[in-house]
Structure 1
Amino acid sequence: MPRITLVEFNGTDHTIDAEVGKSLMLNAIDNGIPGIDADCGGACACGTCHVFVEPGWQAVSGESNGLENAMLSMRPDQADNSRLSCQIEVTDDMDGMVVRMPEYQM
């Protein structure tokens, strides 16, 4: 199981053993990580699982698709490293990956 660290806006970090094949969002929910609200349940329809993928891990997290890009374009805090964690499928290559959560998801 890859170990992934999710960092809250206030700097509190949470390292989880993530299950391969599940989304990062579901892994966060399963581990009780605050700041990943997932109001739409992973349907890529709300943006409440927004994360910033740390440099060096963007290629490993995969490419965003048109629907994800549309959701992210509505966010005032969108950045080049923005992703919706519901759209990131965990792989073994993500061992050590770090993502940060935006301020509004505290």
Structure 2
Amino acid sequence: MDISIRITDRVGVTHDISAPTDMAMNLMEVVRAYELAPEGTIGVCGGMAMCASCQCYVLSNHELPTMQDDEEAMLAEAFFVKDNSRLGCQIQMTTDMEGLEVELAPAD
């Protein structure tokens, strides 16, 4: 089943896209699949929460998975962090994420 999510890219363009929930994809992989950020600027570590290149701001009021220590540590060192910052690689595409709205944080 696909869900509808809204992603605002780094130049301020909003994209309404369908994301599959049956492929174990995370938000960072969806952004890459739709090429919403230039290659090499997102998911640099491959989704291991070891860089902050997929940082995003969660705009909708979704119940997200609890932040793990490695994600918290990365965001503590990242630039442009806000209260609603999360790493896209840590947000799995599940049916619970229907209607998710995020904005990609600026690249370094």
Q: TM-score range by the shorter chain?
A: 0.7 to 0.9
Aligned to 2:51: 46
Letter in 2 for 1:4: I
Task: Give the C-alpha shift of residue 32 in structure 1.
Answer: 1.3
Distance in 1 between residues matched to 2:75 and 2:29, nearest whole Å: 19
For residues 25 and 76 of structure 1, what CA distance do their matches in structure 2 show? Answer: 18
Counterpart mapping for 1:21-60 below 5 A = 21-34=24-37, 37-57=42-62, 59=63
Partner of 1:17: 18
Instruction: Please give the root-mean-square deviation of Cα atoms over the aligned residues, in Å.
Output: 1.7
**In percent, how many aligned pairs have the same letter?**
29
Q: Could you list the structure 1 runs, at least 4 aligned residues long, displaced by more than 3 angstroms after superposition.
A: none
TM-score, length basis structure 1: 0.86
Q: Distance in 1 between matches of 2:31 and 2:104?
A: 12
Residue type matched to 2:16 in 1? T
Structure with a larger share of its residues in strand: 2
The question of whether the paired residues in 2 share the 8 Å contact of 1:55 and 1:81 is answered with no
Matched with 2:93 is 90
**How many residues end up aligned between the 2 structures?**
103
What is the identity, as a one-letter code, of the residue corresponding to 1:17?
Answer: S
Which whole-Å CA distance do the structure 2 matches of 1:27 and 1:104 have between them?
Answer: 17
Q: TM-score, normalised by structure 2?
A: 0.85
- The alpha-carbon deviation at position 55 of structure 1 amounts to 4.0
Equivalent residues of 2:3, 2:98 under 8 A apart: yes
CA distance in 2, matches of 1:69, 1:22: 21
Structure 2: stretches of 5+ with no match in the other structure: none
Q: 1:69 aligns with which of 50, 68, 72?
A: 72
